[in-house]
Structure 1
Amino acid sequence: MVTSHHKVFRRVLTVSCCLICAVLFFLYATKNQPRPRRPRPASSHRFYPSNWTLVNLKHFEFLLNSDACETRHIDLLVIVTSHPGHVALRNAFRRALPMEALRTFNISRVFLLAQINPSQTGYHQVDQTIIEEEHLNFNDIVQGDFIESYHNLSYKHIMGLKYSIHYCPQAQLILKMDDDIAVNLFQLLDLVRSKSLTGLQIAGAMLTGNERNPVRERASKWYVSRYDYAPSKYPPFVSGWAYVTTVQAAIQLVRHAESSPFFWIDDTYVTGMLAALSGVNHVDIRTRFTVFADHLKCCLRNDAVACDYFVGPSGDDAELVEAFHRQSFRCKIRIDSCRAAFNESSDKPSFCVITNLPSQTYDKLDGRIIHGQIVPLF
């Protein structure tokens, strides 16, 4: 009887040991097996070079890259600086101007992202898996391995220019813009062409007067100490909201970025400091910029009028971004349906004007206080 119990015990023990060994072997095997990586649309190894230099980052790498410019003639490459959490803004661009539609006009577009910063608050939180899924769906994200931060905006800016010259050198022009800015790509492109933008030039809204003064108030998020920048004026530069340049100019800007001191305010750094070192000149088109989101909303009230303004802020309003871009696209494909309201003789916008109704806003481009509301002339 005892012997029988011992035999049963030994069998149970043997089976248990075998099961434990099998489980341990399985866990070991799966732990050491390479985890499958999500497929990257830009599968060629040249889209993921190792040990690139980005300004003063000596081992920069792309986390995601796009082949948006492959084997196509490109009149305009649009590089959009975007926060990882701004999914709604990126989707507004895509709904209003899908890549299939842009390709008919020889336009391509990518969004520039940094690595997700989990400590940031105030943004819609996303993780890397969501960004990768977004890229798989749209193949339009270029993501660098530096952390998302105001103080890393210059890295993102230069990354976009570097992408342009290495992966889209055939582009005739480059439009750099922010994801919370509404831009009429087609009218802006026509305007820049009328200015014969070539070679070492940047077309955008020139900053003048006090706008070129460094912010010395410590409480400001744009505070710049005299240690970081000693002069009392920045060199001439254009607004980073949106500007157009050439591949030739981008090459020079990137080259000087890798041999010049880093500065974190990206539009001042790239279109001012680096432009001065590179011999890149500015073409001022600020008359077609507005600092009022209400100007853009005003334009949308009349579908038969092409907006006076080509560039303006959305206030992070994805619906406004989508609506403005839809209207610009409709006016492009149905030219006869949209008449221009711009007063060419005075070179001043004439469709949406300021009335004397009570309210107050500050126009940063003109540096004056304006009282009133923005309304259509008709």
Structure 2
Amino acid sequence: MPKPSVPHAGTVCVPCRLAAIGAVVLTLAGGFAYTAGWLTPARLTAPRIINTFEAAAGQPHPGYRRNHAKGLCVEGYFDSNGAGTTLSHAAVFAPGRTPVTGRFAVPGGNPSAPDTSSPVRSLALQFTLSNGEQWRTGMNSTPVFAVHTPAQFYQQLVAAKPDPATGKPNPDALKAFYAANPETKPFQAWVKAHPPSSSLANAAYYGINAFLFTDGSSNTRAVRWAMVPETPYAPITDAQKAEKNFLAADLNQRLESGPLRWHLILTAAQPGDPTDDATLQWPDERQHIDAGTLVLERTTSQEDGTCRDINFDPTILPAGIQPSDDPLLAARSAAYAQSYQRRTREEALHPALHQTQANGAHS
């Protein structure tokens, strides 16, 4: 069999070069297509999750976060007492004050939803450390999450899509989802036993996911945290249940009397405690450390406030804190980025969104 011809050294094989370039381009394009999910339509991707959030909201809401669309900005500081350094060398735990920008919200993609549309309240924070690092966290008023994996979360979103006939989620679809996913039982039980708070100020907020804290001696432990309010908890009242927008008004009224405070409680895991499952709590007897006080002093509109352009990605962490093996963390990061890209693009194309959406919320 004759050997294939080989160009002499120093000669240029134009067809070969073009074929090589074409192969590189196809490889790169294929990689991007795979990442976007174009070649694997059944694969769960961040765009697919955000598309489902949009469907669950009932209609498009340009310029808003695809989840937690209704909210308001808050500002203040974190006053560290130094106790957190026993678990992490992160600069935020050194004694002193760290500026904080945050955002209260209720879950869901509809910025006009009533405050009672969900039993959950949310608090996202960005700590701006003196060394230039940032710590961003998104917390909920439940100590456990409803689902264990991104796939379950997607299935829950699908089950919560509005029925075209009623404009509301089909209770049978949600019931079927919960029945097929027993991991949701701890969340359901907790919500049933704990009525929603009457205020954003008297709710505790939980980081839910586990993170890895490393101290100054390079010892690493899994940690969860919670913001526990100084304001005593009180359940939602019957009068509030009939109101659509009481949470923001209540918070502003309380702040007129002075700052509001929460204690940052760090909970350290013991060997064997699950770090990859946000549906499971750790035992109450675990070590708890009061690392300092979150002080919130004022609110601003999310349309033009300091939180408007922040993507509260929970994987943006300072040295001394790292993500755990919880699969929800990477999914949250990717979905938050997709939501941020969509809403900021919409705002850039339609600057009037800042003026016309006076009562809504941004992501």
State TM-score, norm by structure 2. Answer: 0.25
Rg comparison, structure with higher value: 1
Instruction: Report the structure, 1 or 2, having the larger helix content.
Output: 1
State TM-score, norm by structure 1. Answer: 0.24
